[in-house]
Chains A and B, each alone.
Chain A
Amino acid sequence: MEFKVEAHRIMTISLGKIYSSRVQRGGIKLHKNLLVSLVLRSARQVYLSEQEELYLQQQQQLLLAQREQSPETWSDRTECEPPTEQSPSWAEMESNISKEQAPSWTEMGRTDSKEQPASWTEVESSGYKEQAPSWTEMARTDSKEPASSWTEMESNNPEQQAASWTEGQRTDCQEQPLSRVHSEERTDRQSPKGLEEGRATREPRAPCRAVAGCPGRLVRRTAREQETACTRKRRSPEQGAAAEPASPLKRARTEPVVLQANSQSEEEQMETSSNVSSLINIFGSSFSGLLTKEESEGESGQICCDQVLGSMGSWSRAIVAF
């Protein structure tokens, strides 16, 4: 359990480092970011393996509890499962996984306002082609895990259906075949239910085939309302985001998108961008926005911070205090 906390903390710190490397003078340092991404991957592996154990334990307890319940309560329970850390729907999602690539999971990291920018990282869409095999495998083993801190990112790849969902939104995911989150233009990110996409935090978009869950479904992001902390790194498409409604969350996203669009026009920068994005793809998430400077990061960071703080659990708050 301690390993899990430690791993989570390390992941948080790593994401913060990757984010802050964007604004460093002299450009992104490939070596350092590579090392940070390796650490992030190691920590994630530990974290997920711990999660899996925890989930299995809790599943067993749940089963025991359910057996003692009446049939009515059993059905009730299945219907309105609260957004807890454990997501039985993960297994369901697993079964629904199409061959399309699943968006990456994300991790809510930043609760400290200083570190807030870490949650605003963008993922580069164009450099994103393949799924990292390691990530795919990891995702499969995750099938039963409570993806409390893993929310999925919609893929920017038009060929892929993006599913951005948190555990709490499992039901949404099933019920609402929403428009593609990551459309080329990114103009329409809203779900039919008017759910916000929760762009406040960025999620790493991992080429996670296995954990797609709801392909093509946009789920309202309630990560910020959940106790688990996740940071989202999202690939930002070229233009569309600029046309989005003026929710602060979305606005935060737009600028990096625009900047990213500009930067992507340069091949060399593409190379560097894809370097970094590739780093993340190695372990399953992408950072396209790492290469652009966000003017609005402070502001958006603050907004996200507030929301994230609201969703913090007690042990996550410890990270804030730290």
Chain B
Amino acid sequence: MGEDIDTRKINNSFLRDQNYVTEADIISTVEFNHTGELLATGDKGGRVVIFQREQETKSQPHHQGEYNVYSTFQSHEPEFDYLKSLEIEEKINKIRWLPQQNAAHFLLSTNDKTIKLWKVSERDKRPEGYNLKDEEGRMKDLSTVTVLQVPVLKPMDLMVEVTPRKIFANAHTYHINSISVNSDCETYMSADDLRINLWHLGITDRSFNIVDIKPVDMEELTEVITAAEFHPHHCNLLVYSSSKGTLRLCDMRAAALCDKHSKLFEEPEDPSNRFFFSEITSSVSDVKFSHSGRYMMTRDYLTVKVWDLNMETKPIETYQIHDYLQSKLCSLYENDCIFDKFECAWNGSDSVIMTGAYNNFFRMFDRNTKRDVTLEASRENSKPRAVLKPRKVCTGGKRRKDEISVDSLDFNKKILHMAWHPTENIIAVAATNNLYIFQDKVNSEMH
């Protein structure tokens, strides 16, 4: 599939031309809203940047569908927990949009400990003609007021206001890794390493604990929760993944505490492989329901697996992302790359899945045709309107031209976070501190 590039590179670094990346600018989450009109990114510095898609106009056909900065705000600040003498990072771990119910947009953003509900609203009119105040807001001299007037709303320059509406704090002992809004649009869950809490969007002073896998004796700890998500349609179903590579589907109707799973999705491990690091590579880093709700996709270090909710014994599809790294696991362990948590994404019709890799590569797999493609998100190779060229990693033997050998992969350039537009073939890919937005114009009708 041809990919047309419509690139937006957001680099807040002061020394951008020198390729200097400040850690605060590293993008840590990317999320489209439910219509795809807005795209939110969170970074390690606690900031959220919202992009809005331009409306297509006939006068500027080439600029249709471009994303421009809509609003920027500081969501979380670094905090210090005095009781534990621990610093709480301001890095935004996840952003989730709420389904839009009125003119304003709402999103949830979370760091390690605190979730915040933000209201994003536009103001393009302001009242003018106050009786007691003049235009600058100063009090009028009452003696000059002779006639009463009704203030009228006059248009003004568009102003985007972002205000914190709710702050959900002090409910997590461990680091929050996921949040997920329920399909009932009233509740949401937040998951940390050992517990999952259920919140009501309007109530901040209490939450219900629905999953708790903390052992009585911490010495017996063997697995942690790595990701969790509500089912897109069934408000009672949620899934959470573990560091052991298992998925647990829980039904909130069964019991108040969903420690006991309704379904356990686990693939028996191949005993012959991977020696020291098999436990790390089997840890699930991301789980996503398909839009249909029939399937789930999990990402572990080397593979993406698609599961059918009706079959617990094994995934229905397994895709090798970068199997050539198997021989390099030891050095990846040393440089901590083996702990990278890659995300994955479905396209709108659930026919294509996408995930990131190293060297700023990302891969797409067509589930129907079984074709896959590796693409690169880089400034050098991306010019506006240019078509992305498929890349290939040479795994052994003779390296062909245009192929990249495994040893020359840059493991500092990794694509961990990405999002796919809910209906169209537009993808947002975060490469360290840059955001790339790609659009597939050729096949936009087919998908």
Contact = CB atoms under 8 A, between A and B. Distances in A.
B88 A26 contact: yes
Contacts of A271: 173, 218
Instruction: Specify which of B84, B174, B220, B276 lies most central, judged by the most chain A CB atoms within 10 Å of its CB.
Output: B276
Q: Is the interface of B mostly helix, strand, loop or mixed?
A: loop
A267 B277 CA distance: 33
Interface in A124-179: 127, 129-130, 132
Interface in A248-287: 262-263, 266, 268-269, 271-272, 274-275, 277-279, 281-282
B173 A268 contact: yes
B84 A279 contact: no
Interface string B209-231: 00000000111111110100000
A26 B87 contact: yes
Given A38-B279, A39-B280, A42-B279, A281 B219 contact: yes
B83 A130 contact: no
A30 B330 contact: no
Contact of A31 (B243, B277, B333, B336): B243
Instruction: Specify which of A7, A275, A281, A292 lies most central, judged by the most chain B CB atoms within 10 Å of its CB.
Output: A275
Interface in B175-200: 175, 177, 193-194
B339 interface: yes
Interface in B276-292: 276-277, 279-280, 283
A35 B88 contact: no
Contact of B217 (A10, A31, A34, A130): A130
Contacts of A35: 243, 279-280, 283, 339
A29 B175 contact: yes
A282 B215 CA distance: 13
B276 A43 contact: yes
Given A13-B334, A39-B333, A279 B221 contact: yes
A6 interface: yes
Contacts of B112: 26-27
Contacts, number: 105
Contact of A30 (B87, B88, B174, B275): B174
B89 interface: yes
Interface string A12-33: 0100010000000111011110
A130 B275 contact: no
Interface in A33-47: 34-35, 38-39, 42-43, 46
A42 B277 CA distance: 8
B330 A6 contact: yes
A46 B175 CA distance: 32
B328 to A, nearest CB: 14
A129 B218 CA distance: 11
Contacts of A34: 221-224, 243
B83 A30 contact: no
A17 B333 CA distance: 10
Contact of A129 (B86, B87, B217, B333): B217
Given A269-B84, A272-B173, A282 B193 contact: no
Contact of A39 (B88, B217, B224, B279): B279
Given A13-B334, A31-B226, A39-B276, A278 B87 contact: no
B242 to A, nearest CB: 10
A130 B175 contact: no
B339 A268 contact: no
Contacts of A279: 218-219, 221
Contacts of B84: 27, 263, 266, 268-269, 272
A157 B345 CA distance: 50
Contact of B219 (A129, A266, A269): A129
Given A6-B330, A39-B280, A266 B83 contact: yes
Nearest to A42: B276
B222 A282 contact: yes
Nearest to B277: A39
B218 A32 contact: no
B102 interface: no
A25 B89 contact: yes
Nearest to B84: A269
Given A31-B224, A35-B283, A268-B84, A130 B173 contact: no
A269 B243 contact: no
B85 interface: yes
A277 B219 CA distance: 7
B224 A10 contact: no
Contacts of A132: 219
B333 A27 contact: no
Contacts of A281: 219
A275 B221 CA distance: 8
Contact of B175 (A7, A30, A263): A30
Nearest to B334: A13
Interface string B324-355: 00000010011010010000000000000000
Contacts of A6: 330
A305 to B, nearest CB: 19
Contacts of A292: 85
B221 to A, nearest CB: 6
Contacts of B174: 30, 272
A271 B89 CA distance: 20
Contact of B193 (A25, A31, A42): A31
Contact of B220 (A7, A282, A293): A282
Contacts of B339: 32, 35
A90 to B, nearest CB: 25
Instruction: Specify which of B85, B173, B222 lies most central, judged by the most chain A CB atoms within 10 Å of its CB.
Output: B85
Interface in B76-93: 83-89, 91
Contacts of B88: 26-27
Nearest to A292: B85
B298 to A, nearest CB: 16
A269 B83 contact: yes
11 contacts: A7-B276, A27-B112, A30-B194, A31-B175, A35-B279, A42-B279, A268-B84, A271-B173, A272-B173, A275-B218, A282-B219
| 10 interchain residue pairs of minimum CB distance | A278-B218, A278-B219, A26-B89, A27-B86, A281-B219, A269-B84, A30-B193, A38-B279, A35-B280, A31-B224
Given A130-B219, A271-B173, A278-B219, 14 more contacts: A17-B336, A27-B112, A27-B175, A29-B175, A30-B174, A31-B177, A31-B226, A39-B279, A127-B219, A266-B83, A268-B84, A272-B84, A278-B218, A278-B220
